Amino acid sequence: MSEPEGSTPVPRTGQNILAALASWDWIVGIILAMIAAIVFFKTTKPTQQHFDYTFRIAGALLHGQVGLENRPPSWLNEMVPRDGRLYSVFPLGAVVSMLPVALLQRTGWVVNFPGHWVATILVGCIVYFFFRLTEIRSQPVVRRILLALFPIFGTWAWCNLGFGGAWQIALGFALLGETAALYFVLVRPRPFLAGIFFALAVGNRTELVLTLPFFLYFVWRPPTDVDSFPTLANLLPNLRKSLPNFIWFLVVPVTLGLLTAAYNFARFHSIFDFGYAHIPNLMREPWYQRGLFSIHAIPWNMQKSLFEGFTDYPHFPYIRFFPFGCSIFLASPFLFLLFREGGRFKTAIWLIIGAVMFVLWCHGNPGGWQFSYRYAVVLIPWMFLLLVENGPVKISAIECALFSVSVAINAAATYEFLWTNLIHP
What is the spatial distance between Cα 192 and Cα 240, in angstroms, rounded to a whole number?
A: 18
Domain count, the chain: 1
Q: What's the rounded Cα separation, in Å, for the pair 125 and 102?
A: 20
pTM (two decimals): 0.91
Residue 51: partners with Cβ closer than 8 Å, 6 or more residues away: 75, 76, 165, 166, 167
Band (295; pLDDT cuts 50, 70, 90)? very high
User: What pairs with residue 324 in β-bridges?
Assistant: 370
- Amino acid 2: pLDDT: 41
Residue 230 lies in a domain: yes
Check pLDDT > 90 for residue 425: no
* Segment 78-96 mean pLDDT: 93
- Residue 267 located in a structural domain: yes
Please state, for a pLDDT cut of 90, what percent of the chain lies above it. 76
Residue 18 lies in a domain: no
- Bridge partners of 190, per DSSP, are none
Residues 6+ apart with CB under 8 A from 281: none
Q: Which of 69-78, 116-125, 326-335 has the lowest mean pLDDT?
A: 69-78
pLDDT, position 224:
55
Query: Which range, of 117-121, 174-178, 366-370, averages the lowest pLDDT?
Result: 366-370
Q: Note whether residue 337 is domain-resident.
A: yes
- Decide if 418 contacts 159 (C-beta within 8 A): yes
**Maximum Cα interatomic distance, the chain, rounded to a whole number of Å:** 90
Confidence label for 84 from pLDDT (cuts 50, 70 and 90): confident
Nearest to 173, CA basis, from 238, 254, 92, 249: 92
Which residues fall within 8 angstroms of residue 224, CB to CB, at 6 or more apart?
A: none
Sign of the C-alpha dihedral, residues 286, 54, 197, 271? negative
Residue 26 lies in a domain: no
Using pLDDT thresholds of 50, 70 and 90, give the confidence band for residue 343. confident
Task: Using pLDDT thresholds of 50, 70 and 90, give the confidence band for residue 222.
Answer: low
Q: Give the structural domain span for 77.
A: 40-419
| Structural domain includes residue 99 | yes
Residue 168 maps to a domain: yes
Q: Report yes or no: 198 and 177 within 8 Å, Cβ to Cβ.
A: yes
Is the torsion defined by CA of 104, 110, 115, 120 positive or negative? negative
pLDDT band for position 157 (cuts 50, 70, 90): very high
Amino acid 317: pLDDT? 80
According to the model, what pLDDT value does residue 25 have?
A: 85
Is 69:136 a contact under the CB 8 Å cutoff? no
* 424 domain residue, yes or no: no
247-261 burial: b if 16+ Cβ within 10 Å, else e: ebbbebbeebbeebe
96 pLDDT higher than 80: yes
- Amino acid letter for position 104: L
